[in-house]
Amino acid sequence: MDTIALLQDKRIILAVTGSIAVYKAVDLASKLTQAGALVDVIMTDAAQRFVSPLTFQAVTGRPVYTDLWKADNSGGLPTHIAHVGLGEDADLMVVAPITANTIAKLAHGFSDDLLSVTAIAVRCPILIAPAMDGGMYEHPATQENLEILSMRGVFRIEPEVGRFASGLIGRGRFPDTQTLIGHIRYTIGVSGDLAGHKIVVTAGGTREALDPVRYITNRSSGKQGYAIAQAAIDAGAEVTLITSAENLPDPIGVQVVHVDSADSMRDAVLEYTQDATALVMAAAVADYKPADVSNQKIKKSDDDLSIPLARTPDILMSVKAQREKTGYPLIAVGFAAESQNLLENAEGKLQRKGLDMLLANDITADDAGFAVDMNRVIVLDNDGGTQPLELTSKANIGAYIMDRIIGLLD
């Protein structure tokens, strides 16, 4: 698990209740800790029937809190009044898994154990992840209590449909760790510097159809675009990801628009950038497409086959025309993958496409670029400045772009 800049040194209270899913919360505590968060675990009595406090202590490296009535700090309590000390400078309280019983208690303000008292004492956002068996989640009592919590601004992760430990099938399953972390990032990020701003990101190599079964594409994986979309969520933006990548999970909180060809990507980009703060074009858009798309599968014969190609639209040129007319998107960022004359070619593109910033990468480098998690780019600005960035993760490049967008807005 890599560190996550947004979670670095964030204080997260992870409260766990008596659901069998509590064993999965151990992995969540571990991954949050590895990501850089300081995780303080609170366990109810029922949770301790499933997993021991020592398990959480081992993965977080911090004391685990179980008792409302400890009157001193011998158990590692942050103050003699545990719930106040825990809540004081927390960035987020996550109750995951939360049972029907604890949902009911929080909805009605009961506060008879460390978890429920802390939930009333904290001033940070609260995120809950219900997990329960059979029809308990659908029960009107649970649903009405959840409604009360939503109205009060509590964030919720919907449980998934699937098989329970009992063998029953229904909605109530605890999501996997990556999904939970996605929601945690969304909840912590939501009030970030880009709150209220729309950011549109493109990702993936476009697919240009030849016939009903074949297409021309390129080696772009979409990873850089997805990392940029996640960085925009971390910064609090409202994010639309227009993607032709097929095998990457949707980042939590992002509106994902699936497209395939350059033409369909252009239509989506022009539609979603009409009132956007920024567009980041990380997609590897094909330059050519088959001039004609055959309705039938092209049959093989003994002869060689030539396929005439036609130009695709240059999406950023269409965006430039839109910006000249309407001013939107306010900021346009492009990428340039080059195998020769990197800076010269990139500078030409920045000017021609009317960009505020362009990130150029040398695709001949074997430690960065396609399909891997690392990237090495040189950043060009429209005032002529250039800045090489060290080899770094695609996630860090995403965060860098968001910092620069925030700077340009200032």
Tell me which of 73, 218, 345, 382 is the catalytic residue: 218
Tell the smallest beta-carbon distance from residue 294 to ligand C5P (Å): 23
CB of 311 to ligand C5P, least distance (A): 8
What is the smallest separation between the CB atom of 242 and ligand C5P, expressed in angstroms? 11
The two structure tokens encoding residue 140? 């009107």
Pick 125 or 222: Cβ nearer ligand C5P: 222
Q: How far is CA 312 from the centre of its chain?
A: 30
Active site residue 218: yes
Residues of the shown chain interacting with ligand C5P in the complex, contacts defined by CB under 6 A: 262, 281, 283, 285, 287, 312, 314-316, 334-336, 349
Closest CB to ligand C5P among residues 247, 339: 339
Q: CA 49, CA 275: separation in Å to the nearest integer?
A: 52
Q: Which is nearer to ligand C5P, 314 or 381 (CB)?
A: 314
CB nearer ligand C5P, residue 88 or residue 314: 314
CB of 326 to ligand C5P, least distance (A): 18
CB of 285 to ligand C5P, least distance (A): 4
Structural Rg of the chain based on CA atoms: 25
Pick 77 or 358: Cβ nearer ligand C5P: 358
User: Which residues lie closer than 8 Å to 148 by C-beta, 6 or more apart?
Assistant: 107, 108
Choose between 142 and 220: whose C-beta lies nearer to ligand C5P: 220
CA dihedral 273, 387, 401, 352 (to 10 degrees): 10
Q: Taking the complex as a whole, how short is the minimal distance between the CB of residue 380 and ligand C5P, in angstroms?
A: 12
Q: Which two tokens stand for residue 270?
A: 């022009």
Catalytic residues: 218
